[in-house]
Amino acid sequence: MDLPNIGPAMARDLEFLGILNPEHFKGKDSVELYETLCLRTGTRHDPCVLDVFISVTRFMDGEGPRPWWASTEERKAITESN
């Protein structure tokens, strides 16, 4: 929960994915994280979860912190192209 946009519920989802500390985000693909979460839980999670993953992976790649909703347009572009 030391990362931007990560609260208790998201922290539990991340633990479920094996991401136990911020360094585990380095080099991760936000879309793959989202799809893996959906697959493992058997639930299609809200697309905003992908927004959070995008914001955190970008933060861990050196970008400044941004609110999760700042990633919505990027998420839409990614998901519409697939």
Domain boundaries, the chain: 8-81
Map residue 62 onto helix, strand or coil: coil
Q: Using a cut of 0.85, tell me whether the model's pTM lies above it.
A: yes
Question: What CA–CA distances, in Å, run from 34 to 38, 43, 49, 50, 55?
Answer: 6, 11, 7, 6, 13
Q: Provide the 10 A C-beta neighbour count for residue 25.
A: 20
What does the pLDDT read at residue 51? Answer: 96
Tokens at 6, concatenated: 């990560």
Tokens at 26, concatenated: 């380095």
What does the pLDDT read at residue 82? Answer: 64
Widest CA span in the chain: 33
pLDDT: which is higher, 82 or 6:
6
